[in-house]
Copies of this chain bind each other. A is one copy, B any other.
Amino acid sequence: MPAGKLQLPIALDAMGGDNAPASVIRGAEMALIRHPGLRFLLFGNRFMLEPLLQDVQLVRAASEIIHTEEMIAGDDKPSIAVRRGRNSSMWLAIDSVKSGKSCAIVSAGNTGALMAMSKLILRTLPGISRPAIAALFPTLRGECVMLDLGANVESDENDLCRFAIMGDAFARAVLGLSRPRVGLLNVGSEELKGRNEVKAAHQMLKTINSDLNYHGFIEGNDIAEGAVDVVVTDGFTGNIALKTAEGAARLIRTYLRDAFSSSIIAKSGAVLATGALKAVKEKLDDRKRNGAMFLGLNGIAVKSHGGADAFSFCNAISVAVELVKHNINVKITDEITAYTNPQTPPLSMDAIEGEAD
């Protein structure tokens, strides 16, 4: 094992995901080329990992294997996984973040188990009771962050406000925006419309005591328009909206594929348009946006898509790297502290007056 300087050690659940561990090792290789300062703690079965590492010297030189023969299956119930999975690659990987041996954990394993274990091991940040899952969504203007995508099934106005603050910090870190526009997802843009908790969150965000750039209500169709950079919603609505849109995108791709193979003329057109179609495919490539963060935990946990290939997994590692580099949790904690303790500095008189109404 090389004794090189420990820069940004990242814990990888080498056994999680449909294509693990090969996709994890190959993804780690791509990530090392992209971010040369990385080091990996690979949690998994050494008898499976060592043969793979033979072919990937770059990863081998930058990694340490922490051997375990246990792993969480994709269909394990989170409650069972938490009770019986304390020697699993997933648990040990998360625990290395808690103990400070790594700066972040990336796993393509069972989402529910990863969330349950992460909450239990890492705990939530001060002032946060519910973590949220945040991920990127393509828009006409580029990309936006959307949260919560399913960490919770119900959220009250306080949760929604915290999601707004966390999403703002995420957009600053991952999208590099200086003042992201934050929108609250609703069924209409008028103040009277929507669920009570959404209307209450709107009133709170309008007068929020921070430099959050609150845009107001948005509707579903505004997301892809790029009306805002951060889309705030509860985990039930967010999960369903995102998956419904993914399904619609898949439907259109199928329509296009069928149409382009329907005749020789159409096929010739598709050949000429190969470059154009490839450009569209690339823009819609979910693999580019792989890596959903569990925001609000006292440690960085990134969930890769279960079916991730190496490129996709590499992008999830990149999300973790950006979040570490940007000290996302320090930023969230500062913002939440300013929000929950408006009397303490740093506070302007304007903000205090804003509080009063």
Interface residues of A (CB under 8 A from B): 77, 138-140, 150, 153-154, 185-187, 190, 192-195, 219-225, 233, 235-237, 239-252, 254-256, 259-260, 262-263, 265-266, 268-277, 279-280, 283-284
Contacts and interface: CB of A to CB of B under 8 A. Distances in A.
A194 B251 contact: no
Instruction: For the complex of A and B, list the 8 residue pairs with the smallest distance between their C-beta atoms, beginning with the closest.
Output: A220-B243, A269-B273, A269-B272, A224-B247, A259-B276, A220-B244, A266-B276, A221-B247
A52 B268 CA distance: 46
A209 B212 CA distance: 52
Contact of A187 (B153, B260, B284): B153
Given A219-B243, A244-B244, A268-B269, 16 more contacts: A150-B187, A187-B235, A195-B236, A219-B239, A220-B242, A220-B243, A221-B244, A222-B247, A224-B250, A236-B237, A249-B249, A255-B284, A266-B275, A266-B276, A269-B272, A269-B273
Task: Kindly report how many copies of this chain are found in the complex they form together.
Answer: 2
B268 A272 contact: yes
A283 B239 CA distance: 26
Contacts of A276: 256, 259-260, 262-263, 266, 269-270
A156 to B, nearest CB: 13
A247 B218 CA distance: 12
Given A195-B154, A263-B276, A270-B269, A240 B255 contact: no
A280 B252 contact: yes
Nearest to A274: B269
A280 B255 contact: yes
Contacts of A246: 220-221, 248
A41 to B, nearest CB: 30
A240 B247 contact: no
A323 B289 CA distance: 44
B236 A221 contact: no
A266 B272 contact: yes
A251 B143 CA distance: 12
Contacts of A249: 248-249, 252
27 contacts: A77-B192, A140-B254, A153-B193, A186-B240, A187-B235, A220-B239, A220-B247, A221-B244, A221-B247, A222-B247, A223-B248, A224-B251, A233-B240, A244-B245, A246-B248, A252-B280, A255-B279, A255-B283, A255-B284, A262-B276, A265-B275, A266-B272, A266-B273, A266-B276, A269-B269, A269-B274, A272-B272
Contacts of A235: 187
B236 A259 contact: no
